[in-house]
Amino acid sequence: MAEERIFYVLAYDIASDKRRAKIARLMEALGARVQGSVFDAYLTAVELEKLIRRARKAMLEKEDSLRIYLVCAACRGKVRTIGLGEVTPPPGVLIV
């Protein structure tokens, strides 16, 4: 059985352009950009830990921040989008 994927909202504030670019590439590989420095991602526990390890290597924790918000399935259904964009659907879900 495949490991469960959980929905997260990831937001970062990185002081350096070079470090910001590294974090952005890391996030783009795992999730969908919903705003400049905010991503939605469905991650397994292993993927989340790998992301955290890589982010720590790229960041200076005294200058930068990464916030990781777990959004439970019940709360995900209550997410509202005003204006452009949609909530990222779970992997394997086809929207027609």
Listing from the earlier edge strand, what are the strands of the sheet with 32-35? 32-35, 38-43, 6-13, 65-71
Reported as a single tens digit per residue, the pLDDT across 3-32 is 889 999 999 999 999 999 999 999 999 999
Domain assignments of the chain as residue spans, ordered by start: 6-76
Provide the whole-model pTM: 0.85
Fold of 6-76: Alpha-Beta Plaits (3.30.70)
* Alpha carbon separation from 28 to 1, 23, 53 (Å, rounded): 26, 9, 16
